[in-house]
Amino acid sequence: MKTLSKIASYPLTVVFYLFFGIELVVFEVVQRLMLNVFGYQAHKKSVDYFNWCIVKNLHVLGTRYTIDMPKDLPINKPVIIASNHQSMWDIPTLIWKFRSQRTKFVAKKELAKGIPSISYNLRNGGSVAIDRKKPKESILKIKSFAKLVKENSFAVCIFPEGTRSRDGKIKPFKVAGVKAILDEIPEALVLPVAIKNTGIIDNNGKFLKNIGVRVAFTQLEPRKLNLSNLESELIAINAEIKSVLES
C-alpha cells in the first residue's frame, strides 16, 4: 500500500506544483490589477480567492480537511488568531476561513520578496514582515502594525512559536510578539487555533509530497488575555493546542 501511495505521489506532486505555479503567476497579475485599478477591497477579494485556489489545489494531493470553526465569529472588531505553525499550507486555510475578519499576518521578512503573489500581498495587503534576527526592531514594527490593526478592526494572525514545527510537536510560545500587539490592543479577542498534520504534506521539505493526508483546523474557546498574566495564559493556550494535536 505504501509503495502504491509513493508511486501515485510522483504524478500528483507534479500536477500540484504545476497548478500552484500557475496560481502564483496569475494572481500576481490579478492582485496588481485589483489594487492599482480598483483599490483595497478588490485586492482583498483577489487574495481571498488566491488562497481558496491553493486550498482546493491541495485536494490534488488527496488532502482531506476537518475544519471545526464557529460561524459566528466577531466582525469589525480587533482579533488575534494565535496558532501553532507546521507548514506554509497553514496560511491559505486561515486566510480563507477568516476572510470576513480581514486577516493580516506577522511574517518573516524572507517571504516579502521573490515569491509571486505571496510577497506582493505581504508588502501591499496590510501585513508586516519582520527580521527575526533583529528582535528590538521587530517589536517596534509589530507595535506599529498593531495600531493599523486597531484602526481598521482587522484580525491579525501570529504564530507564537516563532517558526514552523516540522515534526508536528508544538514548541513553547514566545511572549514578545503577542505582548507587542496587546500593548496596543488590550481589548482584542484572542482566537486560539490548533493546526494538525499540515507538516506531513511537505514530506520533510522534499519535492515529493505525501498524499492522502488528513489535516484538521480546530478553533478553541475565544478569550481575552490579561497582560499582567500573559506568559501563564499563553502557556495554557499552548497546552490546550497540544492536547488537540495529541488527540
Using DSSP's 3-state secondary structure scheme, residue 187 falls into coil
What backbone phi and psi angles, to 5 degrees, belong to 67? -120, 115
What backbone phi and psi angles, to 5 degrees, belong to 190? -95, 125
Question: Rounded to an integer, what distance in angstroms lies between the CA atom of residue 76 and that of residue 206?
Answer: 40
Contacts of residue 90, defined as CB under 8 A and 6 or more positions apart, other chains included, come to: 83, 159, 195, 198
58 by Cβ neighbours in 10 Å (0-12 / 13-18 / 19+) ranks as: buried
Question: Rounded to an integer, what distance in angstroms lies between the CA atom of residue 36 and that of residue 102?
Answer: 19
Question: β-strands 214-219, 64-68: how paired?
Answer: parallel
> How large is the angle between the packed helices 176-184 and 135-152, nearest 10 degrees?
40
Closest by CA position to 201, among listed 193, 192, 210:
210
Q: What is the pLDDT, as a whole number, of residue 77? A: 84
Instruction: Determine contact, residues 129/108, Cβ cutoff 8 Å.
Output: yes
Maximum pairwise Cα distance, the chain: 54
Instruction: Determine contact, residues 208/9, Cβ cutoff 8 Å.
Output: yes
Give CA separation, 109 vs 41, 143, 211, in Å: 24, 16, 30
* 0.75 surpassed by pTM: yes
What backbone phi and psi angles, to 5 degrees, belong to 140? -65, -40
> What domains does the chain contain, in order, with CATH numbers?
2-246 (3.40.1130)
All residue ranges of the chain with pLDDT < 70 are: 1-2, 71
Q: What is the pLDDT, as a whole number, of residue 182? A: 95
Q: How far is CA 119 from the centre of its chain?
A: 14
Q: What is the pLDDT, as a whole number, of residue 2? A: 66
